[in-house]
């Protein structure tokens, strides 16, 4: 019965493929972490892996009712609001405590070639922390003064000429959606965060244009869901893409399984028959002379 043991694992493999391929419920429900910010497609809840509607980078994790998202270099940000009609959302540093004089924890570098861009109201702001030598006639941030160490903040483009790199402990550049004076209101601005806009991801464009929604699986394989079961390139052509390939594999697999089972059964039946014939012959009286 060695052949039976051989095809049992393959049966499990196919069950696994079917299960891993199941589509999430349509339409994807909106959700919130409990703090009043509501999320809809293309956002999705990270706890919903492996298959999910929505863009891979817009996965939301709830941490104690605070919705968070991972952006540049997997840094964690708090999502403060979402506007689905404007394709925009506002984020701030997750690490920011409840201080009026916050320190920017790290640079923010949004990949400009990605589908996320800063909104028009976003300005880049430069912080120079703990400078031991400073240029004359420039106002430091009063609340960050530690002894003779001064810290400074300037809008990008209006940084006074000075060797900041040599004379300060750290240089951090972050985006802010701020209108008022940066020197006095940088704390408020950092807490308010900055606005990002998303555009339709490239592979998703023809799917969404045909009123479909994009689904990604564990391997970040993309497919288009059109409401009923099935995975497509888009909802006009209804041309099966990835699933065609996988269903093809599945049918070939099942066919091979059937053949193996069939051959095994035939083999067993034949062996039994041969055996019984032999036994039958054995029982036949030998020598009929």
Ligand X SMILES: *[C@@H]1O[C@H](CO)[C@@H](O)[C@H](O)[C@H]1NC(C)=O
Residues 80-99 close enough to bind ligand X by CB under 6 A: 83, 85-86
Q: Which is nearer to ligand X, 24 or 189 (CB)?
A: 189
Residues 162-181 close enough to bind ligand X by CB under 6 A: 169-170
Nearest-angstrom CA–CA distance, 257 and 265: 12
Q: Which is nearer to ligand X, 121 or 211 (CB)?
A: 121
Q: Does 114 bind ligand X (CB under 6 A)?
A: yes
Q: Does 216 bind ligand X (CB under 6 A)?
A: no
Which of the stretches 79-87, 238-246, 262-270, 271-279 binds ligand X when contact is defined by CB under 6 A?
Answer: 79-87
The CA-CA-CA angle for residues 208, 210, 215, to 5°, reads: 45
The token pair at 23 is: 């589509």
Under a CB-based contact definition with an 8 Å cutoff, are residues 76 and 68 in contact? yes
Choose which of 146, 157, 161, 228 interacts with ligand X (CB under 6 A): 146
Under a CB-based contact definition with an 8 Å cutoff, are residues 89 and 79 in contact? yes
Residues 254-283 close enough to bind ligand X by CB under 6 A: none
Q: In whole angstroms, how close is the CB of 22 to ligand X at the nearest point?
A: 28
Q: In whole angstroms, how close is the CB of 29 to ligand X at the nearest point?
A: 18
Choose which of 32, 130, 184, 200 interacts with ligand X (CB under 6 A): 130
Q: In whole angstroms, how close is the CB of 228 to ligand X at the nearest point?
A: 30
Q: Which is nearer to ligand X, 8 or 148 (CB)?
A: 148
Q: In whole angstroms, how close is the CB of 86 to ligand X at the nearest point?
A: 4
- Maximum separation of any 2 CA atoms in the chain, in Å: 131
Under a CB-based contact definition with an 8 Å cutoff, are residues 173 and 128 in contact? no
Under a CB-based contact definition with an 8 Å cutoff, are residues 172 and 153 in contact? no
Nearest-angstrom CA–CA distance, 98 and 129: 20
Which of 17, 11, 16, 24 is closest to 243 using CA atoms?
A: 17
Nearest-angstrom CA–CA distance, 54 and 204: 10
> Which residues, other chains included, contact 106 with Cβ-Cβ below 8 Å and sequence gap of 6+?
75, 172
Which of the stretches 78-86, 210-218, 267-275, 278-286 binds ligand X when contact is defined by CB under 6 A?
Answer: 78-86
**Residues belonging to the chain:** 289
Which of the stretches 59-67, 107-115, 227-235, 268-276 binds ligand X when contact is defined by CB under 6 A?
Answer: 107-115
Binding positions for ligand X, rule: CB under 6 A:
83, 85-86, 103, 111, 113-114, 129-130, 146, 149, 169-170
């Amino acid at each position: 019965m060695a052949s039976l043991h051989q095809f049992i694992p393959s049966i499990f493999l196919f069950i696994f493929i079917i299960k891993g391929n199941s589509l999430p419920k349509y339409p994807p429900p909106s959700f919130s972490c409990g703090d009043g910010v509501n999320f809809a497609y293309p956002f999705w809840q990270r706890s919903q892996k492996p298959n999910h509607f929505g863009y891979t980078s817009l996965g939301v994790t709830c941490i104690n009712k605070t919705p968070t998202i991972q952006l540049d270099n997997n840094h964690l940000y708090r999502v403060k609001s979402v506007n689905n009609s404007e394709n925009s959302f506002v984020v701030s540093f997750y690490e920011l405590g409840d201080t009026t004089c916050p320190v920017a924890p790290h640079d923010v570098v949004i990949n400009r070639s990605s589908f996320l861009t800063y909104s028009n109201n976003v300005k880049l702001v430069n912080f120079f922390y703990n400078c031991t030598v400073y240029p004359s006639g420039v106002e430091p941030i009063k609340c960050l003064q530690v002894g003779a160490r001064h810290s400074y903040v300037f809008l990008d483009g209006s940084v006074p000429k000075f060797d900041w790199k040599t004379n300060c402990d750290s240089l951090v550049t972050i985006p802010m959606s701020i209108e008022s004076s940066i020197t006095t209101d940088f704390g408020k601005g950092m807490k308010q965060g900055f606005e990002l806009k998303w555009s339709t991801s490239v592979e998703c464009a023809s799917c969404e244009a045909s009123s479909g929604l994009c689904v990604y699986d564990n391997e970040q394989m993309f497919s288009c869901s059109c409401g009923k079961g099935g995975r497509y390139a888009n909802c006009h052509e209804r041309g099966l893409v990835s699933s065609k390939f996988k269903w093809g594999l599945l049918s070939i697999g099942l066919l091979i399984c059937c053949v193996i089972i069939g051959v095994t059964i035939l083999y067993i039946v034949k062996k039994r028959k041969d055996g019984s014939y032999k036994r039958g012959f054995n029982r036949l009286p030998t020598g009929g002379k």
